[in-house]
Amino acid sequence: MQKKIGKMSEKSVQAKGICKSYKSLFGSAKTVLEGISLDIDRGEIFGLLGPNGSGKTTLISIFSTLIYPEEGSLSILGLNARRDRGEIRKIINISTAKPNFPWSLTVRENLVHYSMLYGLYGLGLNRTVEDQIDAFELGEYRDVKFENLSTGLKQRLSLAKAMLNHPRLLFLDEPTTGLDPDMSAKTHDLIRRIHDEEGISVIMSTHYMPEAELLCDRIAFLRKGRVAALDTPQNLKNHLELGKRVKITYRGLANLDALRALEGVIAVRGKPGIVDGRVDIQANGQADIEVTKPAEGPVDRQLEILMDSNEDSLDRILKSFQDAKILDINIEEPDLEDVFLELAR
């Protein structure tokens, strides 16, 4: 009798108390995930965000049954992740940040190869392969070897491979890493189209804030192996009570240390301006600006300052520029990148 696949569950993932650590060559253990609990609804595009080393990829690997957690319980589409691992793998798939296919095989040959691994054969295999080639606009590259594909085309092939078995749950591990803006936008369109047309659940990790804000219904922000925040992008911005992002273009000198210390200032980011500058963005989002050589004329600089919702904060910020000439002030609503900076503090 064929096992019924998770029909009673309305969740694509139910995780409780997930823990994972790795041992080094010298025997010491490093905790990567500590007590992760998440309920992810079916049909969601769910984002995992966080700085490098926060545990995003490890959590994707656990959810996709590639590795086991040391502690905690996990069900995928209503199935037990340990007991029903084989059944789960029939109805999920994954596309990774750095696709690695047999280099000597062409696009079509690779798709045929993976279709056979998924148990397809005969006319059904050929029809599925051709459907994916058409869906992901790979027709003109069907006979091109993997080693000769651009980074963007490799990513597109990886997404096509991930849809061969028509998964109910698709995992995307940093799907636009290394892509230029145009190819990233096309990949976003593909992800949205896959979700809308196939009606599947998508769980994606990313460290690109605009990507998460564009695609994700909800986001879990990971920090040091724990869930630091969980909500919709808009609610995350509202709950943190972020005020405004103030862009100030100025000429002269500003006391950055004093600016950072001001009450109401959450983060400071800098741009070197027109010429002769260097900016070092620290992990907490602060900026150090250094003019690398004297300019022949005045040098314009720009700072982005994330402030709280207190109206007096803007007055304090502007007063800190009393020794500089302010050329332009632009006040904007905060975005998810501002949330990231605040949560990473």
Q: Are residues 123 and 252 in the same domain?
A: no
Query: Is the pLDDT higher at 307 or at 112?
Result: 112
Domain interval for residue 181: 42-59+82-237
Q: Give residue 148's identity as a one-letter amino acid code.
A: N
Provide the pLDDT confidence category of residue 295 given band limits of 50, 70 and 90: very low
Chosen domain end from 237, 253, 275: 237
* pTM (two decimals): 0.74
* 310 within domain boundaries: yes
Chosen domain end from 180, 204, 237: 237
**Residue 246's beta-bridge partner residues?**
305, 331
Q: Are residues 199 and 227 in the same domain?
A: yes
**How far is CA 290 from its chain centroid?**
31
Q: Are residues 216 and 87 in the same domain?
A: yes
**Residue 66, C-beta contacts closer than 8 angstroms, at least 6 positions apart:** 94
Provide the pLDDT confidence category of residue 283 given band limits of 50, 70 and 90: very low
Checking DSSP bridges between strand 265-271 and strand 300-308, what pairing results, if any?
A: antiparallel
What tens digit of pLDDT does each residue of 117-157 get? 999 999 999 999 999 999 899 999 999 999 999 988 999 99
Cα distance between residue 214 and residue 71, in whole Å? 33
- Least confident stretch, 118-127, 205-214, 235-244: 235-244
How many domains is the chain partitioned into structurally?
2
Q: Are residues 193 and 258 in the same domain?
A: no
Q: Are residues 281 and 161 in the same domain?
A: no
* 9 within domain boundaries: no
